[in-house]
Amino acid sequence: MSQSSHKTIIWAAVFMVLFFLAPLIDILLRPGAIIRRPSFDAGLVHAGDLIRHRFLVQNFHLKPARVVQVFNGCGCSRAEMSVNEIRPLRSAHLTVEVDTRGMKDRKTAAATITFEDAASVTAVVAFTAEEPTSNSSKEAKQ
C-alpha cells in the first residue's frame, strides 16, 4: 500500500471514531441531572400524616447543573434541594414533604427541578390516605 492509502485509512478511522463518539461527548458536556428513582410510594397513610422522602439527584455530566427553580406541584407539598448547584459527576438531595391533612384516597404530589439550561426533572410521591378509625386511635394511645 502507498503512503496516501495509509493516510486515507487513518483519516477514515478518525472520522468513524468521532462520528460515533460525538453523541456521547455532547451528552457529557451538556449540563443537567437525573433522579435515579423518580417516584416513591408511601403506601397507606393516615390523613394528617406528614410524608417526607429524599430523592437522589445525580449530575452525570462534565458541567455543573445549576438549579434555577424547585416547583411544588400543589399546596400540600414542599420541596427543597440540598444545594443550588450540583458539581460534575456528583449528587445532591431533593427532599419532598407532603402534608396529608384533609386528604383521602389515592393521591400524588410532584416536585420539579428546573436547571439553568431549561432541562427539568420531576419527582413524584404517591400515597393512599384514609381517615384514622376510632379503634386505631385508641390502639395508638395505649
For residue 41, which of 132, 107, 111, 121 has the smallest C-alpha distance?
Answer: 107
- Mean pLDDT value of segment 110-134: 88
pTM: predicted TM-score of the whole model, two decimal places: 0.73
Phi, psi of 28 (to 5 degrees): -65, -30
Q: Is the pLDDT of residue 142 over 60?
A: no
pLDDT at 58: 94
15-68 residue pLDDT tens: 777 677 777 666 666 657 889 899 999 999 999 999 999 999 999 888 899 999
Q: Which residues contact 51 (CB under 8 A, 6 or more apart)?
A: 42, 45, 97, 98, 100, 125, 127
CA 97 → CA 54, 64, 102, 109, distances in Å?
9, 26, 15, 9
Cell of 41: 410510594
Give the confidence band of 79 by pLDDT, cuts at 50, 70, 90.
very high
Q: What percent of the chain has pLDDT over 70?
A: 82
pLDDT at 71: 94
Which stretches within the chain are classed as H helix? Answer: 3-29, 134-141
pLDDT at 27: 62
Q: What percent of the chain has pLDDT over 90?
A: 54
| Helix and strand totals (H; E) in the chain | 2, 9
Give the confidence band of 134 by pLDDT, cuts at 50, 70, 90.
low
For residue 52, which of 127, 133, 118 has the smallest C-alpha distance?
Answer: 127
